[in-house]
């Protein structure tokens, strides 16, 4: 799975990854189907996304008669490989029980843990409490129309949802912020750099220099944006969760002898559930347009959006907490409820009315450097998550805590 490049952007590897998963799931007797998000929903002409958005749904057979469904959700895309890797990010490398590779923690490692749990359950003849439905989805890492959103809106998700895009070990999820990405494209007029004079526009308009006051306008918004705090519970010992704004991508120019005629930068905004998305977007666009110099062209495109996730706790959480205790060796007092200023595509599931309760788990730890160079997980955490999943799915595990019994 690590060797199959599903980096977003652009997200060109989804078809290859779906084929790989079909092969891995075939021995389990899973019935798989591909669901492609229509291009009209996600395509932005100047945006970075390219290729088919192929999602995979896998339904495990009902070997123990009709059972309620439990949907196990995984996003298959990763961020792009950061600079600073000393190992090949697309080759799984093990060193003393630590597994390095892009997506090991976020979140292909969780897919591997799930597959192992299902193989063990089948081999050992474990009677299940639920029929697992696997959702392997696209474009969580900043896409405009994540695959889970399309599945939810099309009514293709069954039962309650377990999302494996979270932390390893004990936690009760308290929801999270929303996020959106605005791509700003500044166009100028190319000219010979030796003849360029900034105040004589007929000899060239430098797109990079035109973008500077617009980028500064984004920076000027930061104090007021970061002053907006949420009532969501912060992690233990952390300050209140606050809104965030940052420029995360900037690129343009071709060579030293030419005035650049194009420059793009990306504005990333994390917004609290108490904020209004349209107002937050308009605030940024207004500041950028007001700072655009005369003569420069300007386009602002929304290329990614995740809505906030409301408090997702529900009746299945007590049993999941017991499973995490068995899987990771956690004590009951270790579990703390807190939210995050990061974003999740689970909010779309809630908004579609499919499920309000969403259990969050996974392999991410602060030390695993998810989204960065040398991302890693461990064999111990893979085994712990597999045990957790196996306990939760087993019919004889804490049946009195199962609201679907």
The C-alpha atoms of residue 38 and residue 227 are separated, in whole angstroms, by 38
Fold classification of 177-306 (topology level): Alpha-Beta Plaits (3.30.70)
Number of DSSP helices (H) and strands (E) in the chain, helices first: 9, 16
The CATH code for residues 14-176+308-401 is 3.40.630.10
Domains 14-176+308-401 and 177-306 fall in the same CATH topology: no
Q: What is the pLDDT of residue 198?
A: 54
CA–CA distances in Å: residue 353 to residues 143, 154, 164, 215, 243: 21, 11, 20, 38, 26
The pLDDT tens digits of the residues spanning 36-92 come to 999 999 999 999 999 999 999 999 998 778 999 999 999 999 999 999 999 999 999
Q: What is the pLDDT of residue 259?
A: 83
Q: What is the pLDDT of residue 142?
A: 86
Q: What is the pTM of this model?
A: 0.94
Q: What is the pLDDT of residue 6?
A: 98
Interhelix angle 277-291/207-226, nearest 10 degrees: 140
The C-alpha atoms of residue 350 and residue 307 are separated, in whole angstroms, by 10
Report residues of the chain scoring pLDDT below 70: 193-204
> Quick check: helix, strand or coil at residue 390?
helix
Domain boundaries, the chain: 14-176+308-401, 177-306
> Quick check: helix, strand or coil at residue 16?
helix
As to burial, measured by CB atoms within 10 angstroms (0-12 exposed, 13-18 middle, 19+ buried), residue 234 is middle
Q: What is the pLDDT of residue 98?
A: 98
The C-alpha atoms of residue 251 and residue 194 are separated, in whole angstroms, by 22
The pLDDT tens digits of the residues spanning 6-25 come to 999 999 999 999 999 999 99
């Amino acid at each position: 799975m690590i060797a199959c490049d599903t980096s977003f952007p652009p997200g060109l590897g989804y078809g290859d990854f779906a084929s790989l998963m079909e092969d891995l799931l075939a021995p389990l007797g899973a019935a798989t189907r591909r669901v492609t998000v229509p291009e009209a929903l996600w395509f932005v002409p100047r945006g970075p996304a390219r290729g088919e958005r192929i999602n995979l749904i896998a339904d495990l057979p009902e070997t123990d008669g009709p059972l309620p469904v439990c949907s196990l959700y995984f996003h298959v895309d990763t961020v792009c490989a950061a600079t600073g890797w000393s190992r090949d990010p697309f080759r799984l490398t093990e060193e003393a029980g630590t597994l390095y590779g892009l997506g090991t923690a976020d979140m292909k490692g969780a897919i591997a843990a799930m597959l192992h749990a299902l193989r063990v359950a089948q081999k050992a003849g474990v009677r299940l409490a639920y029929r697992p439905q696997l959702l392997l989805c696209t474009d969580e890492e900043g896409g405009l129309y994540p695959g889970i959103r399309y599945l939810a809106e099309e009514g293709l998700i069954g039962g309650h949802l377990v999302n494996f895009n979270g932390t390893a070990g004990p936690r009760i999820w308290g929801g999270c912020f929303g996020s959106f990405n605005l791509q700003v494209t500044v166009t100028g007029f190319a000219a010979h750099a030796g003849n360029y004079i900034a105040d004589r526009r007929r000899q060239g308009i430098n797109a990079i220099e035109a973008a500077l006051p617009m980028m500064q306008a984004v920076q000027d918004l930061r104090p007021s944006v970061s002053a907006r705090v949420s009532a969501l519970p912060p992690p233990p010992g952390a300050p209140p969760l606050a809104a965030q704004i940052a420029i995360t991508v900037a690129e343009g120019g071709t060579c030293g002898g030419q005035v650049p005629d194009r420059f793009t930068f990306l504005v990333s905004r994390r917004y609290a559930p108490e904020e209004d998305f349209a107002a937050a977007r308009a605030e940024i666009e207004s500041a950028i347009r007001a700072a655009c110099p005369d003569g420069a062209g300007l386009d602002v495109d929304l290329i990614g959006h995740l809505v906030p996730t409301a408090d997702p706790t529900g009746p299945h959480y007590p049993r999941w907490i017991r499973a995490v205790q068995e899987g990771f060796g956690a004590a009951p007092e270790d579990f703390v409820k807190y939210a995050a200023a990061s974003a999740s595509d689970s909010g779309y599931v809630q908004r579609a009315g499919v499920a309000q309760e969403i259990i969050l788990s996974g392999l991410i730890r602060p030390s695993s450097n998810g989204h960065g160079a040398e991302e890693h997980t461990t064999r111990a955490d893979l085994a712990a998550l597999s045990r957790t999943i196996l306990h939760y799915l087993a019919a004889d595990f804490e049946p009195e805590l199962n609201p679907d019994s």
